[in-house]
Structure 1
């Protein structure tokens, strides 16, 4: 989990930014605008009430979204990785690692293993999304010795077959606009897994269901309100699969 307390060496703990910052900024701005319009409304009471309710709903969704992106997703991944039965010496790959929230949470559980992250570092997907930021977060968390990052497309991973014991991904694959390429990313994830390795993919519930259908195996479970991006219509599910 993110630790914002000052470390003994004077460096602050990791800061993971905000997912899709443009979207949540627009959501919050729309809510604030509706609330202001309601306060200034001079027409029928019904119109004022409608604007006030719309503003409250949008601001409420913004609050839920921010809780998820700043804390809820971290709590969920803590639970999922604790339940993965890791020995601590695994080689783990995180697809679309961003600023390292999942990557570093995993690395803390791999004292003799290694956590590798790949990303294309797109700023619209996460604020301040740069490899240097991810490595700085790893240093702040005390796991820099077991973390590496690469610039790579998850539909064409630059790793040999059966390279990793665990592959993780959080809210990444749905960003690929073409279904066939989303499925290729899944196939690549399975390709680099060793037999008996675990695949853990968190994504919006319709996407997660599609991934399970494509793979033809694995289990799905909801991650709860703490992983809602504004409401249950953008709830996240976890796909867990073990490679045969």
Structure 2
């Protein structure tokens, strides 16, 4: 248990930051896109994405549950964006990823980290991934990071018509994670 605690701490302090940075870099954003972070929590991935969008905007959506993340609140995320000097590039919404409150084809890029697996059933997770595909613009890209159910995410995205790759496990985080990358035709 001590080794697990040490690995999780190192993962949170270092591995997660490195991996999220590389994940956003892999999207090759030009700087003016509209992006969405699904299950944004306190905003680590939201702000990493916003840092690449000097002329764009990133929307973060969450239900703000504290079951998996202490201090998870829209106010905390807004404060983090303010402290990072990116409040003008960030919009924070409250909503359910199974019923995203956005029009079809609203976003050029969509990211998510360690959020979709929190949904209670496979049907819920499938619905969330279908919603992500629905709000992604044609030609848009996505990157979903999780430690469970990523094969399902990839399958649902393929069924929605996206070109999808599920990358090899990443050991920079503990537990290790997979990234599902996709592009909408």
Identify the TM-score tier after normalising by the shorter chain: over 0.9
Specify the SS of the correspondent of 2:102: coil
Provide the residue aligned with 1:22 in structure 2.
none
Provide the residue aligned with 2:152 in structure 1.
210
Specify the SS of the correspondent of 2:98: coil
Specify the SS of the correspondent of 1:227: coil
Mapped pair 1:226 → 2:169 = no
Mapped pair 1:165 → 2:119 = no
Structure 1 stretches lacking a partner, 5+ long = 1-57, 230-234
Distance between the aligned counterparts of 2:169 and 2:59, measured in 1?
24
Quick check: which one's helix share is greater?
1
Distance between the aligned counterparts of 1:119 and 1:137, measured in 2?
15
Deviation at 1:138, TM superposition (A): 0.5
Mapped pair 1:133 → 2:63 = no
Structure 2 stretches lacking a partner, 5+ long = none
Distance between the aligned counterparts of 1:83 and 1:94, measured in 2?
15
Distance between the aligned counterparts of 1:176 and 1:86, measured in 2?
29
Pick one of 29, 35, 47 that aligns with 1:92. 35
Q: Which has the higher mean CA deviation after the structures are superposed, 141-150 or 71-80?
A: 71-80
Task: List aligned pairs for 1:1-244, cutoff 5 A.
Answer: 58-204=1-147, 206-216=148-158, 217-222=163-168, 224-229=170-175, 235-244=176-185
Larger radius of gyration: 1
Q: Which has the higher contact order (CA 8 A, sep 6+)?
A: 2
The one-character-per-residue Cα deviations of 1:76-110 (angstroms, maximum 9, x if unpaired) are 01112112110000100000000000000000000
Specify the SS of the correspondent of 1:226: coil
Q: TM-score, normalised by structure 2?
A: 0.94
